[in-house]
Amino acid sequence: MQISSRFTVALHIFTAVDVFKDDYKVTSDFLAKSIGTNPVIIRKLLSQLKNAGLIKVARGTGGIELTRDLSDISFYDVYQAIEPVENGNLFRFHDSPNPQCPVGRNIHALLDDKLADIQNAMEERMKKYTLVDLREGMEDLLAKED
Protein backbone atom coordinates (compact mmCIF):
# COMPACT_ATOMS: atom_id res chain seq x y z
CA MET A 1 0.00 0.00 0.00
CA GLN A 2 1.27 3.43 -0.84
CA ILE A 3 -0.46 6.75 -1.09
CA SER A 4 0.24 8.13 -4.54
CA SER A 5 2.40 11.15 -5.22
CA ARG A 6 -0.78 13.13 -5.98
CA PHE A 7 -1.08 13.87 -2.26
CA THR A 8 2.41 15.38 -1.92
CA VAL A 9 1.99 17.19 -5.25
CA ALA A 10 -1.21 18.76 -3.89
CA LEU A 11 0.67 19.90 -0.77
CA HIS A 12 3.37 21.32 -3.08
CA ILE A 13 0.65 23.20 -4.98
CA PHE A 14 -0.71 24.80 -1.80
CA THR A 15 2.79 25.74 -0.64
CA ALA A 16 3.71 27.29 -4.00
CA VAL A 17 0.43 29.22 -4.17
CA ASP A 18 1.11 30.62 -0.71
CA VAL A 19 4.77 31.48 -1.37
CA PHE A 20 4.28 33.05 -4.81
CA LYS A 21 0.76 34.54 -4.63
CA ASP A 22 1.97 38.12 -4.21
CA ASP A 23 4.71 38.00 -6.85
CA TYR A 24 3.46 35.76 -9.68
CA LYS A 25 0.32 34.61 -11.36
CA VAL A 26 0.28 31.02 -10.15
CA THR A 27 -1.00 28.93 -13.05
CA SER A 28 -0.89 25.23 -13.87
CA ASP A 29 2.13 25.89 -16.12
CA PHE A 30 3.90 27.77 -13.32
CA LEU A 31 3.14 24.96 -10.85
CA ALA A 32 4.18 22.25 -13.30
CA LYS A 33 7.62 23.86 -13.58
CA SER A 34 7.98 24.00 -9.78
CA ILE A 35 6.81 20.42 -9.35
CA GLY A 36 8.56 19.01 -12.40
CA THR A 37 5.51 17.46 -14.02
CA ASN A 38 3.07 17.98 -16.86
CA PRO A 39 0.57 20.87 -16.58
CA VAL A 40 -2.25 18.44 -17.46
CA ILE A 41 -1.57 16.54 -14.23
CA ILE A 42 -1.64 19.79 -12.30
CA ARG A 43 -4.94 20.81 -13.91
CA LYS A 44 -6.49 17.48 -12.89
CA LEU A 45 -5.36 17.96 -9.30
CA LEU A 46 -6.58 21.56 -9.30
CA SER A 47 -9.94 20.31 -10.50
CA GLN A 48 -10.10 17.84 -7.62
CA LEU A 49 -9.13 20.54 -5.11
CA LYS A 50 -11.72 22.88 -6.59
CA ASN A 51 -14.43 20.20 -6.47
CA ALA A 52 -13.58 19.66 -2.81
CA GLY A 53 -14.11 23.39 -2.19
CA LEU A 54 -10.51 24.07 -1.17
CA ILE A 55 -9.58 26.45 -4.00
CA LYS A 56 -11.00 28.68 -6.71
CA VAL A 57 -9.36 28.72 -10.12
CA ALA A 58 -9.68 31.65 -12.53
CA ARG A 59 -9.96 30.20 -16.03
CA GLY A 60 -8.08 31.80 -18.90
CA THR A 61 -6.18 34.42 -16.95
CA GLY A 62 -5.08 31.87 -14.42
CA GLY A 63 -4.57 32.25 -10.76
CA ILE A 64 -5.49 30.10 -7.78
CA GLU A 65 -7.17 31.34 -4.65
CA LEU A 66 -7.75 29.44 -1.43
CA THR A 67 -11.32 29.30 -0.19
CA ARG A 68 -10.29 29.05 3.46
CA ASP A 69 -7.44 30.20 5.63
CA LEU A 70 -4.37 27.95 5.62
CA SER A 71 -5.03 27.07 9.25
CA ASP A 72 -8.46 25.73 8.26
CA ILE A 73 -7.19 23.24 5.66
CA SER A 74 -5.72 20.07 7.13
CA PHE A 75 -3.60 17.46 5.44
CA TYR A 76 -6.64 15.22 5.87
CA ASP A 77 -8.79 17.65 3.84
CA VAL A 78 -6.24 17.53 1.02
CA TYR A 79 -5.94 13.75 1.29
CA GLN A 80 -9.73 13.36 1.05
CA ALA A 81 -9.83 15.60 -2.03
CA ILE A 82 -6.95 13.89 -3.83
CA GLU A 83 -6.99 10.28 -2.63
CA PRO A 84 -10.64 9.35 -2.12
CA VAL A 85 -10.76 5.84 -0.72
CA GLU A 86 -13.08 3.18 -2.07
CA ASN A 87 -16.12 2.72 0.19
CA GLY A 88 -14.31 4.75 2.84
CA ASN A 89 -11.75 1.99 3.41
CA LEU A 90 -8.06 2.63 2.97
CA PHE A 91 -7.28 -1.07 2.82
CA ARG A 92 -8.74 -3.06 -0.03
CA PHE A 93 -9.44 -6.68 0.70
CA HIS A 94 -8.86 -9.41 -1.85
CA ASP A 95 -12.17 -10.28 -3.46
CA SER A 96 -12.66 -14.00 -2.92
CA PRO A 97 -11.13 -15.57 0.16
CA ASN A 98 -11.98 -19.25 0.14
CA PRO A 99 -14.86 -19.95 2.57
CA GLN A 100 -13.76 -23.62 2.74
CA CYS A 101 -10.42 -22.55 4.21
CA PRO A 102 -10.39 -21.72 7.94
CA VAL A 103 -8.19 -18.68 7.25
CA GLY A 104 -10.21 -17.61 4.21
CA ARG A 105 -13.54 -17.68 6.03
CA ASN A 106 -12.16 -15.85 9.08
CA ILE A 107 -9.73 -13.33 7.62
CA HIS A 108 -12.25 -10.47 7.65
CA ALA A 109 -13.15 -11.10 11.29
CA LEU A 110 -9.45 -11.23 12.09
CA LEU A 111 -8.41 -8.04 10.28
CA ASP A 112 -11.37 -5.68 9.77
CA ASP A 113 -11.24 -3.96 13.18
CA LYS A 114 -7.44 -3.77 13.18
CA LEU A 115 -7.30 -2.22 9.71
CA ALA A 116 -10.06 0.26 10.60
CA ASP A 117 -8.07 1.23 13.72
CA ILE A 118 -4.91 1.78 11.64
CA GLN A 119 -6.79 3.90 9.10
CA ASN A 120 -8.44 5.94 11.86
CA ALA A 121 -5.07 6.61 13.53
CA MET A 122 -3.55 7.79 10.25
CA GLU A 123 -6.52 10.04 9.46
CA GLU A 124 -6.56 11.55 12.95
CA ARG A 125 -2.84 12.30 12.67
CA MET A 126 -3.39 13.96 9.28
CA LYS A 127 -6.04 16.20 10.85
CA LYS A 128 -3.40 17.61 13.23
CA TYR A 129 -1.32 19.14 10.42
CA THR A 130 -2.59 22.13 8.47
CA LEU A 131 -1.31 24.12 5.55
CA VAL A 132 -0.16 26.81 7.98
CA ASP A 133 2.41 24.23 9.17
CA LEU A 134 3.76 24.22 5.60
CA ARG A 135 3.90 28.03 5.55
CA GLU A 136 5.79 28.16 8.82
CA GLY A 137 8.16 25.41 7.76
CA MET A 138 8.83 27.12 4.42
CA GLU A 139 9.51 30.44 6.15
CA ASP A 140 12.03 28.70 8.43
CA LEU A 141 13.76 26.98 5.50
CA LEU A 142 13.95 30.17 3.46
CA ALA A 143 15.32 32.09 6.44
CA LYS A 144 18.11 29.53 6.77
CA GLU A 145 19.01 30.05 3.08
CA ASP A 146 19.62 33.76 3.64
Confidence of residue 88 (pLDDT cuts 50, 70, 90): confident
Domain that holds residue 35: 5-141
Residue 39 domain-assigned (yes or no): yes
Residue 40 lies in a domain: yes
pLDDT tens digits along 9-53: 999 999 999 999 889 889 999 999 999 999 999 999 999 999 999
Residue 63, domain member (yes or no):
yes
pLDDT at 114: 96
- Residue 17 placed within a domain: yes
pTM of the model as a whole: 0.87
How many structural domains comprise the chain? Answer: 1
User: How high does pLDDT run on average in the chain?
Assistant: 91
Interatomic CA distance for residues 25 and 18, integer angstroms: 11
Q: Is 83 exposed, middle or buried (0-12, 13-18, 19+ CB in 10 A)?
A: middle
Residue 103: inside a domain, yes or no?
yes
Distance (Å, whole) CA 133 – CA 127: 12
Residue 146 lies in a domain: no
What CATH number is attached to the domain comprising 128?
Answer: 1.10.10.10
In a domain, 48, yes or no: yes
> What was the pLDDT predicted at 83?
85
CA 96 – CA 107 distance, rounded (Å) = 11
**Whether the predicted pLDDT of 59 surpasses 80:** no
- In angstroms, rounded to a whole number, what is the distance separating the alpha carbons of residues 6 and 83? 8
- Contact assessment for residue 64 and residue 56, using Cβ atoms and an 8 Å cutoff: yes
Position 51 in a domain = yes
